[in-house]
Chain A
Amino acid sequence: MTQRRSFLAQSAAGATALAFPLIAGAQPKTVKVGILHPVTGALAFSGQQCREGALMAVEDVNKTGIRSLGGAKLEVMLGDAQSTPQAGSAEIEKMNEAGCSAVVGAYASAICLATTQAAAKYNLPHVVDVGVADQIVERGLKNTFRFGPGYRVCAQVAVNNLHVLNVAAGRPAKTVMIIHEESLFGTGTANLLARELPGFGFDVKEVIKHANPTRDFNNIVLRMKAVNPDIVIPANYFNEYALLVRTMQQQKVTPKAIYSVLGGAASSYKFLKEFPDAADGIIDCNHWFNPKDKRAAELRRRVEAKGLFFTYEIFNTYTAVRLLADAIERAKSTDRAAITDALERSTFADHFMPYGATKFVNGQNQGAQPLMTQVIKGDIRVIVPREYREADPIFPLRA
């Protein structure tokens, strides 16, 4: 008898299980999204920060799911670009094969250049989270959308503001030295700066590039000593930036300002915590959140609760994923063309970046702008523009 009962119970369970797919068919489906970053190799720190930001955004989106798709959840396919463009492209191939509806990535400019192009072959929408090189959005790729500012905008803002600061202080700074990393991002930024600065009366004494990774900055700092510039402008990634500024401190090189343009460590809480003395007074023109927006403070609290630093990689990629989720919501579809179309007409405003509502022209968000920050009394404060200002700029650092 017991046997017969258990047989009945088991059959019932089995039948339910068999019937389950029918019920599952009515359940919200998932939207497959590729999250692609250089999580190993020279850019691993930044890549992992990006991935973390993306995953936190996915977690937030999945609390409700995509409502227009019956609460469909984002299903993440993680990719590792291994800090090289080739590996990035290879991951795009996999993501296409796996049927991803869209991709967010891939941090470094040189990698983004390759991944956006690879994705374009399959009309796979690609939201660029950081990648500041303007070529990324200037090749007429219909699938490519960049939420943040490009390096031309950043360089222009930086140069204009340097001019304003310098004039206000009685023009103490005349000479400039630019130190940049040798890939697309650093070289492009440095070229723009070297072209713009003379127009504002600055003499660009020297432009030096270096590899990633660079083990020793003593030679560069020795050249700096020989040139003795009023202002040093670094444009490089975190590790090299940190090493450069530390070596300057060691060699007792104290320019009137360290004025970073997209400096990998200049406005980083990680750098500030690890090297508070070296970081003091550094000005940076970089991706930054609206300091008056409570959602930014809330995300920062969550990130720090995980034992991570709230760096630009995290909040840039976080908002990039939110932008994509918003587009999928309005597309009401997992279809690539529909999502591309929704991104093109996006007016995403529910974010904490100082960009306003999105408006894409040729894939570039028109409202995107960098903010100017300075390390003042052990904290990173926004100094320019006025509507986001938290503290008055200190320029020059020494008379």
Chain B
Amino acid sequence: MLEFSILFPSVLNGLTTGAVYALVALGLTLIYGVLHIINFAHGAALMVALYAVYLLKTWLGIDPYLALPIVVPAMFLLGYALQRGVIERASHGRDENILLVTLGLAIVLENLALLVFKSDTRTIETAYTLTTVPIGPAFIAVSKLVAFVGALGCAAVLMWVVARTDLGRAIRAVAKEKQGARLVGIDVAHVYAMSFGIGLACVGAAACFLLPAYYVNPQVGGGFVLVAFTIVVLGGMGSFAGALVGGLLIGVVESLGGLMLGESLGQIGIFAIFITVLLFRPQGLFGARA
């Protein structure tokens, strides 16, 4: 069982899955880092994006990868509008309210999807669905490879935006000191909404990379968001590098765990690592000490 020809594909498989986990977690950690709220609607947003990709493919025949320039801006706008129109208004600036509002949003979105699409599980067929690329002794699905490269690319762009652009500087300023940011003339409400928008845009990108190798149903977000929360805490709340490394790590641990312990027990490894890190490094792998 521990032959290289089995372990190597399993690790590769874990890395490719982990990259998509990381992308979902990046959005979550950005929203947490700036807004200091746990976005319970993150999984529901992923589900919405997956349905968008699904509909674009089945109605208009648009390939999931070509749907990126449509779905990513659309999810960004949705995020921006949700923050400004719903979350900000309904929460009156109180954290516990925001928590409930996002939870409510998740419930509403999931049940709307249930109403419209029923809980039927849907997949799409593309020309490359079953195409694989040999890497050493492994066969990796083209869609997974694209997801890996794409997710890393998106992470790089996001990190560049936060580190180098004016918007990024404003986001970091608001995350550190809201009042101070307001005093130097930063439109805090706008930055909040931009962060929420970018967070959902990440989810939109993840959906485009995910669907060719995956499926969508109204409950699909739940599985991802639990893992994404784990990654965010593991990597350090609000840390981008942490989310990226945490995502890849969790992907590999899950994959090897599934291989060694059987699929049903595969996720034990994730939570074992999670608890260990919290015991010995409660701020997370890359988190700054509070």
- In the complex, the answer to whether B118 meets A44 with C-beta atoms within 8 Å is yes
Given contacts A218-B9, A223-B1, contact A209 B262 (CB under 8 A): yes
- In the complex, the answer to whether B264 meets A182 with C-beta atoms within 8 Å is yes
Given contacts A219-B266, A250-B132, contact A44 B119 (CB under 8 A): yes
- In the complex, the answer to whether B264 meets A226 with C-beta atoms within 8 Å is no
Give chain A interface residues in 179-223, CB to chain B under 8 Å.
Answer: 182, 208-211, 213-220, 222-223
Cα of A225 to Cα of B258 in the assembled complex, Å: 15
Within the complex, what minimum Cβ distance (angstroms) separates A2 from chain B?
50
Given contacts A210-B264, A250-B139, A250-B141, contact A226 B125 (CB under 8 A): no
Q: Is B219 an interface residue (CB 8 A)?
A: yes
Cα of A396 to Cα of B214 in the assembled complex, Å: 31
Q: Is A398 an interface residue (CB 8 A)?
A: no
- In the complex, the answer to whether B139 meets A251 with C-beta atoms within 8 Å is yes
Within the complex, what minimum Cβ distance (angstroms) separates A243 from chain B?
8
Q: Please, which residues of chain B bring their CB within 8 A of the CB of A333?
A: none
Cα of A24 to Cα of B159 in the assembled complex, Å: 74
Give chain A interface residues in 300-319, CB to chain B under 8 Å.
Answer: none
- In the complex, the answer to whether B120 meets A226 with C-beta atoms within 8 Å is no
Given contacts A211-B263, A219-B259, A250-B139, contact A226 B1 (CB under 8 A): yes
Given contacts A210-B264, A274-B125, contact A250 B259 (CB under 8 A): no
- Scan A314-341; emit 1 where CB is below 8 A from any B CB, else 0: 0000000000000000000000000000
Q: Is A386 an interface residue (CB 8 A)?
A: no
Given contacts A250-B130, A250-B132, A250-B139, contact A214 B121 (CB under 8 A): no
Q: Bin the interface of chain B by size.
A: 20 to 34
- Choose among B125, B223, B263 the residue with the greatest number of A CB atoms under 10 Å from its CB: B263
Within the complex, what minimum Cβ distance (angstroms) separates B109 from chain A?
15
Give chain B interface residues in 208-247, CB to chain A under 8 Å.
Answer: 214-215, 217, 219, 223
Q: Please, which residues of chain B bring their CB within 8 A of the CB of A223?
A: 1, 6, 259
- In the complex, the answer to whether A239 meets B114 with C-beta atoms within 8 Å is no
Q: Is A166 an interface residue (CB 8 A)?
A: no
- Scan A226-256; emit 1 where CB is below 8 A from any B CB, else 0: 1000000000000100110010011110000
Cα of A182 to Cα of B263 in the assembled complex, Å: 10
Q: Is A45 an interface residue (CB 8 A)?
A: yes
Cα of A226 to Cα of B259 in the assembled complex, Å: 11
Cα of A172 to Cα of B22 in the assembled complex, Å: 46
- In the complex, the answer to whether B6 meets A225 with C-beta atoms within 8 Å is yes
Q: Is A161 an interface residue (CB 8 A)?
A: no
Q: Is B17 an interface residue (CB 8 A)?
A: yes
Q: Please, which residues of chain A bring their CB within 8 A of the CB of B130?
A: 246, 249-250, 277-278
Within the complex, what minimum Cβ distance (angstroms) separates A208 from chain B?
6
Q: Is B13 an interface residue (CB 8 A)?
A: yes
- In the complex, the answer to whether A274 meets B123 with C-beta atoms within 8 Å is yes
B positions within 8 Å CB-CB of A: 1, 3, 5-6, 9-10, 13, 17, 114, 118-121, 123, 125, 129-130, 132, 139, 141, 214-215, 217, 219, 223, 255, 258-259, 262-264, 266
Besides A219-B13, A252-B132, 19 more A-B contacts (Cβ < 8 Å) are A40-B114, A40-B118, A41-B219, A48-B118, A208-B263, A209-B262, A210-B264, A217-B263, A218-B255, A219-B258, A219-B259, A222-B10, A222-B13, A223-B259, A225-B6, A226-B5, A249-B130, A251-B139, A277-B130
Ordered nearest first, which 7 A-B pairs have the shortest CB separation? A44-B119, A210-B263, A219-B258, A219-B259, A218-B13, A40-B119, A211-B264
